[in-house]
A and B are shown apart, each in its own frame.
Chain A
Amino acid sequence: MAHPLPPGLTPAEVAFLAEMEMVTIVPRQRIESIDLLGGKTPTLRPPHRAQVPLWLALLLKKQNRANIVPPPWLHPASLQSIIQREKVEDPVAFSPPPPPPSRIKIGGTAERINDASDGVSPPFLPSCTADAPSGFLPYHWQEVAEALLAHAGDDMPASAGEVRGLLRDLAEIRAAKLRSSSSAFEGFGDAGVSLTGVGAMELADNRAFLLGVIDGVRTLGAGAEATRREQEEEERAERGDEFNDSDEEMGI
């Protein structure tokens, strides 16, 4: 019996993983550092900004103990520019992921950034903090944006409706790209699709579809392959004396 869930992560699981992302908060009360398994949380001293994981930020926000500083890429102007880039400037590729942070930063935040970016790859970058570059969608953009809009709508740079609308536009543009990318598989196996810049949720959403497409193409391809083999075998049967040579050719 097959597992009832589709392969890969479910959206709920992806959203759960996204809660590891660091975000910037402005605490509203003093909270001492808490010793957790994943390390110590910073001491929160209002109105000094601090970087905490999203789950903690949401918890503090719900208890009215902190305000979340929205990441710069969630600003309408930034989202507009990304939409522009996706739609007009480069209608095929996805907008690039945020660049890794500078190797050395002066001052207090240096250690924290370095800690987080030991393995410099998208899911582990501090790409949702207030220091993140604008105009680049991080790996967990959909989940983080959704969580922030749902729980910290009053801290957003514009009305939640406006930001939601832009995010929906962006999600649809990119979903269409992802779906149309399946046409690249028509070439029976030897084609590839670049998934650079695609977010975690988009991957989870489309994994089943893309795998289905690849599977289907493979099935079709298998049929075509079988017919080709049969034809070749017939040819081989016709030219029985050259059997060995042709076998070597096939090997190459």
Chain B
Amino acid sequence: MLPIAVLVYPLPVSLTRAALTPLPPPAGAAAALALLWLLICAPGDAGCRLLTVADLFDRVIRHSGRIHSLATALYEKHFPPRDNELGKSARKCHTSGMLTPNGKEYAQKIPREELTHLILKLLQAWKEPLSHFNQHIEHYQELPDDSLSKAKQISNMVHELKTGVEKVTEKMQSMGIISNSLNGMASSEATGLSISNEANMMSDSDFIHCFRRDSNKVQSYLKILKCRIMPENSC
């Protein structure tokens, strides 16, 4: 299925490379497969077809939902939420500095490009800290295997999600749904890196707490974005 997909729908080479290179096998291969499946082929279709923006949105939303679920599972298993715990640590997420909409109306008001950029920025901000967190818990934490695999899974999925969102963004830009002004904002990669250093200083529980929150943010923004762009599509 994969070669056929590639043959029929040649992807931008850069994207494919970007998706494949950072991932070591076998997880990398699996992730690549999942990504390609995510981006190219609709599940259940006899063959692959050209995906609409709505399809892509649905997939990235679903994907972000899965990430959030995994984060929640991890959070609730190892860091059971207690009201006092919740407030005790004056935790400060490394993404707290980012100005993000904290409610529906705000999220609906800010420009689509900006919202898209925020999503990408959030995902980017977690990329490096997640892999760092993975290495960290692998070496220093005595977590059960399934938690470790969850953490790994989260890390990979965030990569995929970012790629997926980029794909959607490209598509929207190519269709003129959003302007290309996003390119100017892409320079924030560096700031993301600086943020991730901050993230590495967080405690595990704070880290999971913050990631869970941001994954929920991403999902919410994606949903808002989708319904803003395609209000007729199951919104």
Answer yes or no: are A and B bound together in one complex: no
Chain B contacts to A: CB under 8 angstroms: none
